[in-house]
Amino acid sequence: MQRTFLIIAAVSGLIAVILGAFGAHALRGKLEPKLFDVFETGVRYQFFHTFALIAVALLIDKLGAAQLVPAGWLFVAGIVLFSGSLYLLAVKSWKWLGPVTPLGGLLFIAGWVMLLIAAARR
């Protein structure tokens, strides 16, 4: 799982850099400021949880996989649902995605709880 999470983290980091640059250069001035902020929030949280996923991958051997593997998948799903929904809300204005964003946030929270449990059990 370490290799899988590191690969997913590398792809996620790559996508976050590309989307951050795209936002800064192609969307600034084209989106209203509120929607631009929404897009930037998606990039910021994608980066935070990309680093969390790297930490999970590096800690699996030290803390065990029982809680860390679920934490990793929760972070991955959170990136897709939270950041992905914010990107689409900002660029496409798909209002129906609004309820998806908090679900992604809950997945992030659950991932951090699993990381906390893994650390506390060590």
* Global pTM value: 0.94
What's the whole-number mean pLDDT along residues 28-34?
A: 88
- The parent domain of residue 90 ranges over 2-121
Q: What dihedral angle (degrees, nearest 10) is formed by the CA atoms of 4, 15, 79, 45?
A: 120
How many domains is the chain built from?
1
List, for residues 44-89, the tens digit of each pLDDT value: 999 999 999 999 999 999 998 888 999 999 999 999 999 999 999 9
Q: Is the dihedral of CA 72, 100, 88, 38 positive or negative?
A: negative
How many H helices and E strands in the chain? 5, 0
Nearest CA among 61, 47, 37 for reference residue 17: 47
The pLDDT mean for the chain works out to 94
Neighbours of 68 (CB within 10 A): 27
For residue 122, pLDDT over 80 is answered with: no
